[in-house]
Amino acid sequence: MNQWLNFTKGFIRENPVFTLLLGLCPALAVTSSAFNGLGMGIATTFVLMSSNMVVSVIKNYIPDKVRIPSFIVIIASFVTIVELVMQAYAPSLFKALGIFIPLIVVNCLVLGRAEGFASKNSFVSALIDGLGMGLGFTFALTLLGAIREMLGSGSLFGYTLVSGDMILVFILQPGAFIVLGYLVAMFNKIKKSA
């Protein structure tokens, strides 16, 4: 039961973007469309799950003095895998996400979960936590991107919903802050009422 709570807490109670306010750099920078948000979320989920699993397995063999650098090397290895696979099989997404793919290495969400959870828990718990937090991050980025895309260009996942002039500011960086602010307020309201 406790493991199930670790899985679900990433959606509302401890959503990385809307509640914990972690990983805001990619959340604000790449979510001009729902597709970009989904792609970044899936990439981060893979890195989060994989690094959590490896950290939970080797945690007893890493000396305290090199714990954080070791975690960064583990995370960087999985980010490199994601980057190479995305470059080979999804070049348009790779181009759209740009520098933010390698920056997953220093995403405080990934490093924080490795240090704060995976290094203290079992393999299964770390896997479930990585999946839950990763899916919560994916949900947040996709929702943020979908709202910005609908308001800014009248489309969703590239399909036109509304033709005509839209509110351009929403697909620009200021729109990211505006939408994020409203979503954070909404999630705080939901969290307080739950």
* Chain Cα centroid distance, residue 31: 11
Q: Which residues pair with 159 in a beta bridge?
A: 156
Q: Which helix (H) or strand (E) covers residue 155, if one does?
A: strand 155-156
Q: For residue 6, what pLDDT is reported?
A: 57
Q: Give percent of the chain above pLDDT 90.
A: 37
Q: For residue 164, what pLDDT is reported?
A: 78
Average pLDDT taken over every residue of the chain: 87
pLDDT band at 103 (very low <50, low <70, confident <90, very high): confident
Q: For residue 87, what pLDDT is reported?
A: 94
- pLDDT greater at residue 164 or residue 56: 56
Which alpha helices (DSSP H) does the chain contain, by range?
Answer: 2-8, 24-29, 34-58, 67-89, 91-97, 108-116, 123-153, 173-193
Residues 64, 71: Cα–Cα separation, whole Å: 11
* Closest-CA residue to 26 (of 43, 13, 9, 10): 43
Whether the predicted pLDDT of 85 surpasses 90: yes
User: Each residue of 119-132: pLDDT tens digit?
Assistant: 888 899 889 888 98
Average pLDDT of span 159-183: 86
Phi, psi of 138 (to 5 degrees): -65, -45
Look at the pTM and tell me if it is higher than 0.85: yes
pLDDT band at 53 (very low <50, low <70, confident <90, very high): very high
